[in-house]
């Protein structure tokens, strides 16, 4: 079973300089690619000069995460793709558990390792932590991270289990299924496209797993940090896209209406915190969603959305903000 590690890069020479050494050192089983999203810095020249064994793919435009990977992966023919953020430090032996998981479980078509914080190495990292889930309202959360509460890794999530979604920060996926699903939805541009992909994987009847036997450290926010209103825009809009495309038809519009109300409360909270740009980002996210409603709705007709199984958590917003349940084990 052949493995390709594909690192998407956009003007990230400093990140490549810092994190590519661990990838090349600890990934002898894989072919390593840097897929460049039309960078204007000298990151491509840096890779060519210092890492001649790393293969380079040049994308013509910066199409964000979704289109960037879709374009690049057309040139990658290994059995397993590992889509790796450029701000991740991998560890010795990190690939073997992922490879073993795929070889021993034919119905597992996507997976993620334990993702810890590069700056606080004994804590989980926001983007993925110990595996992703959604509640019945379509809100994503993780073992080890619910909203902004990050847990310390004390071995409480050291079981290898099926999950609902695997983090795009370090996403392993079988090429055959990725191609069958036509890859990421490029209308997302960035953020939550991996949740959409994983939702569609479940619709095909396959499984997604988390393995704690593999461990990586993620900086997080190196390309678009949490203080940027653009991130707020993409997260809120793309979460609505997920519901419209993938939620069961019988609940789809109830969920979207409920989300409209809850997003309004989130906007008010941003105003109370003195963050008006984030409030406007939520408003613009809804405007963009309704502008693209027909286009995204058309995709739902072929998504097999009625077969999706939700997580058993009813409403993570209620558990977190009303019942004060901040940790996954408390749910």
Q: What is the pLDDT of residues 304-319, one digit of tens each?
A: 544 444 556 889 999 9
Query: Which of 178, 196, 218 is the last residue in one of the domains?
Result: 218
72 and 189 assigned to the same domain: yes
150 and 85 assigned to the same domain: yes
pLDDT, position 194 = 97
With beta carbons less than 8 A apart as the criterion, state whether 194 and 168 touch.
Answer: yes
pLDDT-flagged residues of the chain (< 50): 305-309
**Token code pair at residue 84:** 């790796």
272 and 137 assigned to the same domain: no
pLDDT, position 223 = 52
> Is residue 136, in this structure, part of any structural domain at all?
yes
18 and 81 assigned to the same domain: yes
Q: How far apart (Å, rounded) are the C-alpha atoms in residues 219 and 38?
A: 23
> Is residue 198, in this structure, part of any structural domain at all?
yes
Structural domain total, the chain: 2
* H/E element, 133: strand 132-134
29 and 158 assigned to the same domain: yes
Which residue range is the domain that position 263 belongs to? 229-306
With beta carbons less than 8 A apart as the criterion, state whether 93 and 107 touch.
Answer: no
146 and 249 assigned to the same domain: no
With beta carbons less than 8 A apart as the criterion, state whether 210 and 143 touch.
Answer: yes
Q: How far apart (Å, rounded) are the C-alpha atoms in residues 143 and 14?
A: 31
pLDDT, position 311 = 59
pLDDT, position 306 = 42
The model's pTM is 0.93
């Amino acid at each position: 079973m052949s493995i390709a590690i594909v690192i998407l890069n956009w003007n990230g020479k400093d990140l490549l300089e810092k994190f590519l050494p661990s990838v090349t050192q600890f990934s002898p089983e894989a072919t390593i690619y840097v897929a460049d999203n039309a960078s204007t810095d000298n990151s491509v020249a840096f890779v060519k000069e210092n890492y001649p064994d790393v293969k380079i793919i040049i994308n013509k435009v910066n199409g964000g995460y979704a289109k960037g990977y879709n374009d690049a992966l057309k040139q990658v023919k290994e059995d397993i793709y590992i889509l790796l953020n450029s701000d991740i430090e991998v560890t010795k032996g990190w690939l073997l558990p992922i490879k073993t998981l795929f070889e021993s479980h034919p119905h597992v078509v996507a997976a993620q390792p334990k993702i810890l914080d590069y700056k606080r190495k004994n804590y989980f990292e926001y983007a993925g932590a110990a595996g992703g889930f959604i509640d019945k309202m379509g809100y994503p959360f993780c073992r080890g991270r619910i909203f902004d509460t990050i847990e310390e890794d004390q071995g409480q999530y050291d079981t290898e289990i099926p999950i609902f979604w695997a983090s795009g920060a370090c996403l392993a996926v079988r090429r055959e299924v990725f191609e069958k699903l036509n890859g990421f939805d490029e209308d997302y541009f960035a953020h939550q496209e991996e949740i959409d992909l994983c939702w569609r994987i479940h619709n095909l009847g396959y499984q997604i797993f988390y393995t704690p036997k593999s461990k990586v450290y993620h900086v997080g926010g190196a390309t678009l940090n949490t203080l940027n209103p653009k991130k707020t825009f993409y997260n809120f809009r793309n979460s609505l896209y997920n519901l419209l495309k993938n939620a069961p038809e019988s609940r789809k519009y109830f969920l979207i209406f409920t989300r409209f109300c809850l997003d309004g409360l989130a906007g008010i909270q941003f105003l109370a915190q003195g963050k008006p740009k984030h409030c406007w980002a939520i408003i613009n996210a809804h405007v963009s969603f309704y502008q693209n409603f027909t286009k995204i709705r058309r995709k739902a007709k072929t998504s097999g959305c009625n077969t999706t199984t939700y997580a058993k958590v009813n409403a993570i917003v209620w558990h977190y903000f009303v019942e004060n349940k901040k940790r996954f084990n408390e749910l």
